[in-house]
Chain A
Amino acid sequence: MLAVEGLRSGYGSIVAVDGVSFGVGAGETLVLVGPNGAGKSTTIMTLAGLVAPLGGRITLDGVDVTGADARARVGHGIALVPEGRRVFADLTVSENLLVGAHRLPRSALASGRARVLDLFPRLGERSRQLAGSLSGGEQQMLAIGRAIMSVPRLLLVDELSLGLMPRAVDDCYAALAALQRDGLSIVLVEQSTERALGVADAVVALDSGHVTWTGTGLEARSNPGLLSAHFA
Chain B
Amino acid sequence: MLALDLLIQGLVQGAIYALVAVGLTLVYGLLRILHVAHAALFTLGGYLGVLVTNATGSFALALAVAMGVAGVAGIAVYRLAYRPLLGRSPLIALIASIGLFIASEEAFRIIFGAHGLSYVTPPLQAQIEIAPGISLSLARIAVVVLAVVLLSALGWLSLSTRTGVAWRASVSDPPIAQAFGIDIERVRHLNFFVGSALAGAAGVMVALLNNLVEPTMGAVPSYKALAIIVLGGLGNVRGTLVAALALGVVESFGTIYAGHLLDRDAIAFAFLILVLMLRPQGLLARS
Contacts and interface: CB of A to CB of B under 8 A. Distances in A.
Interface of A: 48-50, 69-71, 73-75, 79-80, 82, 86, 88-91, 95-96, 98-100, 102-103, 106, 146, 150
Name the interface size band of chain B: 10 to 19
- Ranked nearest first, the 7 interchain pairs of A and B with the lowest CB-CB distance are A103-B181, A88-B172, A70-B179, A70-B178, A99-B169, A102-B181, A74-B181
B166 A102 contact: yes
Main secondary structure of the interface of B (DSSP, over half): helix
A181 B154 CA distance: 44
A74 B179 contact: yes
A70 to B, nearest CB: 4
A50 B180 contact: no
B155 interface: no
B176 interface: yes
B176 A80 contact: yes
B272 interface: no
Given A90-B172, A91-B172, A99 B178 contact: no
A120 B168 CA distance: 24
A69 B175 CA distance: 11
A150 B165 CA distance: 16
25 contacts: A48-B179, A49-B179, A50-B178, A50-B179, A70-B175, A71-B178, A71-B179, A71-B182, A74-B181, A80-B176, A88-B168, A88-B169, A88-B173, A88-B176, A88-B177, A91-B168, A95-B168, A95-B169, A98-B165, A99-B166, A99-B180, A99-B182, A102-B162, A102-B166, A146-B180
Interface of B: 162, 165-166, 168-169, 171-173, 175-183
Given A70-B179, A86-B173, A146-B180, 18 more contacts: A69-B178, A70-B175, A71-B178, A71-B179, A74-B180, A80-B179, A82-B179, A88-B176, A89-B172, A90-B172, A98-B162, A99-B177, A99-B182, A102-B162, A102-B166, A102-B182, A103-B180, A150-B181
